[in-house]
Amino acid sequence: MAAFKAFWNSPVGPKTTHFWGPIANWGFVAAGLVDTQKPPEMISRNMTAAMCVYSGLFMRFAWMVQPRNYLLLVCHASNESVQLYQLSRWAKAQGFLEKKEPEGQH
């Protein structure tokens, strides 16, 4: 009970936007997970690549912002993973991750 109260009244708790901003960002993770089940032709290379850079930068932002925001950090770490996975699915569907030919050039 005391722990819940502490959370409820926290300066980064659910009464503040420091909580809901990161919650909104979990939407990217959820959307990404849903989209892993769709065919790779639907993946947007532009958006997925942008997400990978974006979440990388925002992990750092979450650490440095005042107040420090661990919820945001975990969210972006998760999004980074999902988006990198989606990017790899896209790349594979495009033929970028083919195994090297046995008669390799180098």
Partner 1 sequence: MAASKIQALWNHPAGPKTIHFWAPTFKWGISIANVADFSKPPEKISYPQQVAVTCTGLIWSRYSTVITPKNWNLFSVNVVMAGTGIYQLARKTRHDHFSEVQEVPAKE
Q: Which residues bind partner 1 (CB under 8 A)?
A: 16-18, 20-21, 23-25, 27-28, 30-32, 34-35, 38, 41-42, 44, 46-47, 49-51, 53-54, 57-58, 60-61, 64-67
Kindly report the length of the chain.
106
CB neighbourhood size of 22 (10 A): 20
Residue number, 39 or 102, with CB nearest to partner 1: 39
- 55's tokens: 């979440």
HSE at residue 36, side-chain half, CA atoms within 13 A, is 13
Identify which of residues 2 and 68 has a Cβ nearer to partner 1 in the complex: 68
Work out how close the CB of 96 gets to partner 1 at its nearest, in angstroms, rounded to a whole number: 19
By beta-carbon proximity to partner 1, the closer residue of 37 and 105 is: 37
Which burial class, exposed, middle or buried, applies to 3 when counting CB atoms under 10 A from its CB (0-12, 13-18, 19+)? Answer: exposed
